[in-house]
């Protein structure tokens, strides 16, 4: 896949009220643009299950559909962290290897990596991945899976070639 479209949904109560500047999305954009990504959407929403769900759904259907939706934030243990629950409610197939790889990579940097609850999955032909909210953690987690994203998108969109036949 030479290029793909993506949207970023930042989940932050303070960010949605304008009390905190989002510093994670620019880091995510830099990494994705480096592998052929083209930003098609960006939204900041509060830690509210239904608002997170609706923000993700707007990028998975109709003319606004993108290849990849990355959420950023709301993956921890705080009672308001509900991004994985919002995501789980709309994906059709979960991809456990993506968050497993992200947590494994983060574990070499912090023992708190085991507390991340982010998930990944597919809705129709859109890949959805939950990233942590801090710029540092979002970058480290995305770097762990970055090179697998184009191949995942090809497969999700029906590429019939065998995985083992590629480089």
Q: Is the residue at 135 inside a domain?
A: yes
Q: What is the pLDDT of residues 125-158, one digit of tens each?
A: 999 999 999 999 999 999 999 999 999 999 999 9
Q: Is the residue at 163 inside a domain?
A: no
d(CA 120, CA 91): 8
**For the domain that residue 26 is a member of, what is the CATH number?**
3.40.980.10
Q: Is the residue at 167 inside a domain?
A: no
Q: What percent of the chain has pLDDT over 70?
A: 97
Domain count along the chain: 1
Mean of pLDDT values over 75-102: 98
What mean pLDDT, rounded, does the chain reach?
A: 95
Looking at residue 73, its pLDDT comes to 97
> Is pLDDT above 60 for 19?
yes
Q: What is the pLDDT of residues 116-132, one digit of tens each?
A: 999 999 999 999 999 99
Looking at residue 165, its pLDDT comes to 56
Mean of pLDDT values over 66-90: 97
- Cut 0.75: pTM above it: yes
Q: Is the residue at 166 inside a domain?
A: no
* Containing structural domain, residue 29: 4-158
Q: What is the pLDDT of residues 50-77, one digit of tens each?
A: 999 999 999 999 999 999 999 999 999 9
Q: Is the residue at 164 inside a domain?
A: no
Q: Is the residue at 165 inside a domain?
A: no
Q: Is the residue at 140 inside a domain?
A: yes
């Amino acid at each position: 896949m030479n290029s793909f479209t993506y949207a970023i949904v930042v989940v932050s109560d303070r960010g949605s009220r304008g009390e905190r500047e989002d510093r994670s999305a620019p880091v995510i954009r830099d990494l994705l643009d480096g592998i052929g990504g083209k930003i098609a959407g960006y939204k900041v929403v509060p830690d509210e299950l239904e608002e997170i769900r609706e923000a993700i759904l707007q990028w998975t259907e109709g003319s606004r559909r993108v290849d990849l939706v990355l959420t950023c934030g709301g993956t921890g243990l705080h009672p308001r962290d509900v991004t994985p629950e919002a995501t789980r409610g709309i994906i059709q197939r979960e991809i456990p290897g993506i968050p497993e790889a992200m947590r494994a990579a983060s574990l070499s940097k912090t023992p708190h990596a085991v507390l991340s609850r982010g998930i990944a999955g597919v809705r129709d032909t859109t890949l959805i991945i939950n990233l942590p909210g801090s710029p540092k953690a979002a970058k480290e987690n995305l770097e762990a899976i970055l090179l697998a994203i184009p191949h995942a998108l090809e497969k999700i969109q029906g590429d019939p070639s065998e995985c083992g036949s590629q480089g």
